[in-house]
Structures are given as structure tokens and as C-alpha cells.
């Protein structure tokens, strides 16, 4: 009567040891993966898992409102930006553009931009380098909005279309450089 129980325990033990052996071999053979947690936003604490950065790829998780935010480096300046596939170009708040050292003057606000709230005159600029995670894109067209016309800077299609791929599914946006 105890023989089947002893036999089952033996098989289970061998299977467990075999599984541990396989996992340790996989750990030794698997390529290293870099995981970086982006700077946490205290206002969104607990709203979404940390974004994951892999070699030349980045997976962003939607926040509670369904938006994708990323820490970007714009010509050396660190900014928190929203990714927006509906924005034709990267769009900067006046304040973020100043923080990033983008060169523009008040007379540069002459380029008409269509927004949900109508037409606004923006300043056109060219970004030398945009870096998000391990992904770097150079010479990116962008616009700067007048003071008070935009709450958060946007990484638009002038950045996204330069990637080899980007895809969205199940509350995740994956970018590949």
C-alpha cells in the first residue's frame, strides 16, 4: 500500500532535481538582460509597473489613465514625456524646451499647428539627440508650444517613426531602436 506513495514521492523528487538542474543551466547560458526602473513619479505611485529596458528595446506600461510616460534625455537634459502616436512631431512645453536648452525666440512662434483646441502658432526646432532607455535617435524635428498651451511634453511620430518598430498591446507599448 505504501509502495505507490514511495514511488510517487521518488518520481516527484527526481523531477524537482531535474527542473532545478535545467534552470541553473539556462541561467548560465541565457544572455544578460538589463532592466532599468525609470524615475518614479510620486503622483502615480503604484499606478503601473516599472518600465523595462532591454537591449535597444523599451517596454512602457500604461498608467491608470492609459497614457505611456517615459524619461527622455533631450540633448542632455532629462525630461518626463508622454508618448503620443497622434502627435505628428515631438512637442515641447515652453518650460521643458528652455530646460533642454532648445534654441528659439518669441519671433519663432510662426508655424501653425492644428490641435484639438484649434490652431496655435508654435516654434519649430531640431533636436540633436533624443534618448529613451537604450534607444537613441538623432536629428529629430519638433515644435515648442507657447507658454501655458501644453501641460506635458510629447514624444510624437517624428521620434517614433524613426524606430525599427513600436507596438501596443495589453497596456504595454514596446519600442525597438
DSSP string, 24-67: HHHHHHSPP----PPPP-GGGTTSSPPPEEETTEEEEE--TTS-
> Is pLDDT larger for residue 24 or for residue 172?
172
Which grid coordinates belong to 145? Answer: 508650444
**Could you report the per-residue pLDDT of 23-32, keeping only the tens digit for each?**
333 333 333 3
- For 10, phi then psi, to 5°, come to -65, -45
**Could you report the per-residue pLDDT of 143-158, keeping only the tens digit for each?**
999 999 999 999 999 9
In angstroms, rounded to a whole number, what is the distance separating the alpha carbons of residues 166 and 177? 9
Which grid coordinates belong to 62? Answer: 500604461
**Could you report the per-residue pLDDT of 47-90, keeping only the tens digit for each?**
445 565 557 899 999 999 999 999 999 999 999 999 999 999 99
For residue 117, the 8-state DSSP code is: T
pLDDT for position 49: 55
CB contact at 8 A, 125 and 97: yes
pLDDT for position 56: 87
pLDDT for position 115: 86
**Could you report the per-residue pLDDT of 8-56, keeping only the tens digit for each?**
444 444 444 344 333 333 333 333 333 233 334 444 444 445 565 557 8
In angstroms, rounded to a whole number, what is the distance separating the alpha carbons of residues 16 and 12? 6
> pTM surpassing 0.85?
no
Query: Which is nearest to 62 in space by CA: 78, 85, 92, 79?
Result: 85
Amino acid at each position: 500500500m505504501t509502495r505507490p506513495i514511495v514511488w510517487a514521492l521518488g518520481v516527484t523528487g527526481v523531477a524537482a532535481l531535474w527542473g532545478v538542474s535545467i534552470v541553473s543551466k539556462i541561467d548560465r547560458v541565457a544572455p544578460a538582460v538589463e532592466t532599468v526602473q525609470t524615475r518614479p513619479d510620486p503622483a502615480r505611485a503604484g499606478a503601473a509597473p516599472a518600465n523595462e529596458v532591454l537591449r535597444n528595446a523599451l517596454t512602457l506600461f500604461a498608467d491608470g489613465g492609459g497614457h505611456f510616460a517615459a524619461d527622455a534625455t533631450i540633448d542632455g537634459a532629462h525630461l518626463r514625456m508622454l508618448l503620443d502616436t497622434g502627435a505628428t512631431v515631438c512637442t515641447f512645453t515652453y518650460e521643458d524646451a528652455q530646460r533642454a536648452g532648445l534654441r528659439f525666440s518669441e519671433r519663432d512662434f510662426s508655424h501653425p499647428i492644428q490641435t484639438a483646441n484649434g490652431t496655435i502658432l508654435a516654434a519649430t526646432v531640431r533636436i540633436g539627440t533624443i534618448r529613451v532607455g537604450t534607444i537613441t535617435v538623432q536629428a529629430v524635428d519638433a515644435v515648442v508650444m507657447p507658454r501655458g498651451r501644453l501641460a506635458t511634453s510629447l514624444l510624437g511620430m517624428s521620434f517614433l517613426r524613426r524606430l525599427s518598430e513600436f507596438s501596443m498591446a495589453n497596456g504595454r507599448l514596446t519600442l525597438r531602436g
